[in-house]
Structure 1
């Protein structure tokens, strides 16, 4: 929860150790881009921890602990609910409920987000890389005006034809939705929406299949 009475999170306590985290919005977005790459899940976890904590983070000294630390950081800090009623997926986007679609992507909609921050807040996101905290970025993102390009695109994706529309209006809506459609298919979105316990269990299974030979991944 975003609370003005509390300082912004800049680290985590885990199993008796303190870890300082780089939570600049651009670093977190880089993590989401990495998680979309076609890498083995253990390599993804390793790279995420090195981006967040340190390039020298020793992932292989205790892989089981590292996976748990990754899950703790993602669940409690990176992908935490900015709204108690909204669940979020691997990429920090609202998690689609059954039969629902995903209407925006932090990576695919980067241009619209950039333009919208500049339009609404006069913030050039390139100028605040390494400075703007991830929590601040999220608070500003969800508060963008309906006049912003990002909100307009999301609205187009969500809009449904109704009986009062003419055939021409329906055709135009369909064309706009095709023009602004997200590229990922439903199977990819369902994998992203896998709960965190499932992600952790999947990583464990992959590790077991390797027989601990992580250096050969």
Structure 2
């Protein structure tokens, strides 16, 4: 969560040594994509996650506790929500609602919206803008931005529109802006916004960390 009195976390202290942590927004997004890669096993995901957050040039301890504690800290930073957690919405059958956005598919809309509202070129912020800053700005995108307009189209209930022409226009727009992917439960959006889902990701990584060092 972004603080107005403290700088965003970029380091981790362990046994008197300081280790740099890369928590730029693009690094975190790469991490989220990594967890969706079905071709990698948990150990491979853990190894790649270590490289993302700690880089390739730092000499890291072999102590499994180092990885467990550092990933616990990273998890808290990424999953922290300023206004509490919301339970995932469910349909009448008790199934979690289909995800509303995808950082990959909606990258262009997110980029355009940041530029439109804040005048920020996210391409120039890669490796620099901290995740907590990105997340605060992302959550603050206004209803008139391109990204939020797309979300509104996806959320609108076509069954409540009486005029057949207007209803079909909405369905066509929803089909055009649909989020690709076959999953309907525990989607990337929930993993990105829901602390418990992200914590599950890190729990898997922590299991690997406790089995051995780098």
Fold conserved (TM > 0.5)? Answer: yes
Q: In the alignment, what sits opposite 2:4?
A: 4
Structure 2 gap segments, 5+ residues each: 91-95
**Separation in 2 of the partners of 1:9 and 1:189?**
27
CA gap of 1:66–1:138, structure 2 versus 1, over 3 A, is same
Q: In the alignment, what sits opposite 2:164?
A: 167
For residues 1-217 of structure 1, the aligned pairs below 5 Å read 1-13=1-13, 18-38=18-38, 39-56=40-57, 61-62=62-63, 66-67=67-68, 69-70=70-71, 72-86=72-86, 96-98=88-90, 99-184=96-181, 185-187=183-185, 189=187, 194=197, 196-197=199-200, 200=203, 204=207
Displacement after TM superposition at 1:111 (Å): 0.8
Residue pair 2:142, 2:148 contacting (<8 A) in 1 also: yes
CA gap of 1:127–1:160, structure 2 versus 1, over 3 A, is same
Displacement after TM superposition at 1:178 (Å): 1.3
TM-score, normalised relative to structure 1: 0.75
| 3-state secondary structure, aligned to 2:142 | coil
Higher relative contact order (CA 8 A, sep 6+): 2
**Separation in 2 of the partners of 1:183 and 1:10?**
34
Computed over aligned residues only, the root mean square deviation of the Cα atoms, in angstroms, reads 3.4
Structure 1 gap segments, 5+ residues each: 88-95
Displacement after TM superposition at 1:63 (Å): 5.1
TM-score, normalised relative to structure 2: 0.76
CA gap of 1:50–1:85, structure 2 versus 1, over 3 A, is same
Displacement after TM superposition at 1:107 (Å): 2.1
Displacement after TM superposition at 1:159 (Å): 0.8
CA gap of 1:203–1:138, structure 2 versus 1, over 3 A, is closer
**Separation in 2 of the partners of 1:10 and 1:202?**
20
Displacement after TM superposition at 1:58 (Å): 6.8
